[in-house]
């Protein structure tokens, strides 16, 4: 496994991030534990989750599964850089109550304690804001975070799904507050070959402020995982976002061109998409959310893959990026 610093911090993290969103809803506890063991054995030390994972009446279940895995001992907790998120409403379904969601100081405090209990740990290494909260000023957010850092309950703060201007606003506010707050150290955003808009504002802002970029959905909901070929061979059909995208003839033609390109270079589609992200400026590592051990093995191979300049140029032709801002939309 290869490692890098998380943004401007001294924290070393693997260049592949284990996403746990499937743990509970699609992967049972036993198989989830096996996947986490395999990831750790392969050197993956960066695990990502969120308090709402498990979803619906089972929200929080994913954190509980991770907690039961930590409880097995063997140094599991100390080997893992643990990231979770706050924002979604954690009140029981049908019992939504004011202040049980978003980023007020009240909810941040409540959510941290609840996550720590489910995870069975005394600290969260990276506590991420799952979405912007337009109603809560960053002065209040940082006040709550600073207290939690002082208490040792969290070590670093990160963002997720933030626009570039909010990254700037968050860190400028942290700098004005003083007191040693280092502000956001990472941004988790939607970024992949098929969705490159983050290159316009989000990633430049992250680089300017020293945030590590952690892309989610690196295969764009399975669209970049060889879906056209699998359909032709009678394998698993596309579903969800991938199926909707393939219904558009132009998108289907582009995905087919992508699959033909990577096949020409002897590379599996999903591995090519991950390897491309690992070449992108500012990227710490993509989040992979395996449902099975086999999917994890494929992701691990991508870390060792070094795409040729010819392949990278071909990928840019199939999936051209928007270009830098402001030239992408002005002059």
pLDDT in tens, 262-283: 999 999 999 999 999 999 999 9
Q: In terms of Cα–Cα distance, which of 190, 278, 272, 203 is closest to 2?
A: 278
For position 240, what pLDDT does the model report?
72
For position 181, what pLDDT does the model report?
86
Strand order in the sheet with 212-216: 212-216, 184-190, 154-160, 124-129, 81-86, 46-48, 17-19, 287-288
H/E stretch holding 56: none
Q: Which domains are delineated in the chain?
A: 3-220+270-308 (3.20.20.100)
What mean pLDDT comes out for the span 243-263?
93
Q: Average pLDDT of the chain?
A: 95
For position 244, what pLDDT does the model report?
83
For residue 161, pLDDT beyond 70:
yes
For residue 297, pLDDT beyond 80:
yes
3-state secondary structure 24-53: CCCECHHHHHHHHHHHHHCCCCEEECCCCC
What mean pLDDT comes out for the span 302-316?
97
For position 276, what pLDDT does the model report?
98
Per-residue pLDDT band for 286 (boundaries 50, 70, 90) equals very high
Q: How many CA atoms lie within 13 A of 42 on its CB side?
A: 24
For residue 80, pLDDT beyond 80:
yes
For residue 92, pLDDT beyond 90:
no
pLDDT digits (tens, 9 = 90+) for 184-240: 999 999 999 999 999 999 999 999 999 999 999 999 999 999 999 888 887 666 667
For position 107, what pLDDT does the model report?
98
Q: Which residue has the higher pLDDT, 96 or 312?
A: 312
DSSP lists the bridge partners of residue 288 as 18
CA distance 28 to 35: 11
Counting residues of the chain whose pLDDT is more than 90, the rounded percentage is 91
For position 239, what pLDDT does the model report?
67
Lowest mean pLDDT among 157-161, 199-203, 292-296: 292-296
pTM for the full model? 0.96
Lowest mean pLDDT among 16-30, 52-66, 84-98, 128-142: 84-98
Active site annotation includes 53:
yes
Counting residues of the chain whose pLDDT is more than 70, the rounded percentage is 98
3-state secondary structure 245-263: HHCCHHHHHHHHHHHHHHH
Q: In terms of Cα–Cα distance, which of 173, 145, 162 is closest to 214?
A: 162
Catalytic residue among 53, 87, 191, 209: 53
Q: Residues in the chain, how many?
A: 331
């Amino acid at each position: 496994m290869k490692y890098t610093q998380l943004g401007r911090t001294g924290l070393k993290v693997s260049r592949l991030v284990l996403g746990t969103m499937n743990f509970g809803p699609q992967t049972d506890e036993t198989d989830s534990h096996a996947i986490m063991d395999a990831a750790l054995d392969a050197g993956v030390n960066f695990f990502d989750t969120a308090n709402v994972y498990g979803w619906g009446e089972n929200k929080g279940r994913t954190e509980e599964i991770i907690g039961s895995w930590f409880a097995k001992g063997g140094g599991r907790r100390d080997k893992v850089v643990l990231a979770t998120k706050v924002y979604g409403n954690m009140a029981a379904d049908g019992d939504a109550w004011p202040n049980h969601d978003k980023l007020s100081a009240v909810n941040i405090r409540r959510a941290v304690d609840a996550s720590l209990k489910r995870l069975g740990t005394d600290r969260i290494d990276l506590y991420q804001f799952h979405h912007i909260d337009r109603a809560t000023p960053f002065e209040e957010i940082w006040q709550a975070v600073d207290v939690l850092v002082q208490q040792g309950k969290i070590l670093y703060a990160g963002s997720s799904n933030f626009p570039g201007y909010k990254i700037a606003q968050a860190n400028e506010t942290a700098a004005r507050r003083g007191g040693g707050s280092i502000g956001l150290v990472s941004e988790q955003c939607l970024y992949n070959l098929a969705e490159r808009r983050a290159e316009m504002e989000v990633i430049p802002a992250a680089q300017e402020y020293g945030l590590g970029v952690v892309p989610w959905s690196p295969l764009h909901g399975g669209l970049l995982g060889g879906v056209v070929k699998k359909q032709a061979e009678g394998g698993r059909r596309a579903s969800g976002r991938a199926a909707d995208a393939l219904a558009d003839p132009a998108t289907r033609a582009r995905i087919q061109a992508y699959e033909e390109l990577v096949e020409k270079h002897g590379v599996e589609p999903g591995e090519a998409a991950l390897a491309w992200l690992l070449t992108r400026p500012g990227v710490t590592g993509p989040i992979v959310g395996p449902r099975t051990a086999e999917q994890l093995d494929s992701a691990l191979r991508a870390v060792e893959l070094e795409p040729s300049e010819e392949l990278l140029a071909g990928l840019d032709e199939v999936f051209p990026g928007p270009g830098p801002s402001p030239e992408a939309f002005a002059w």
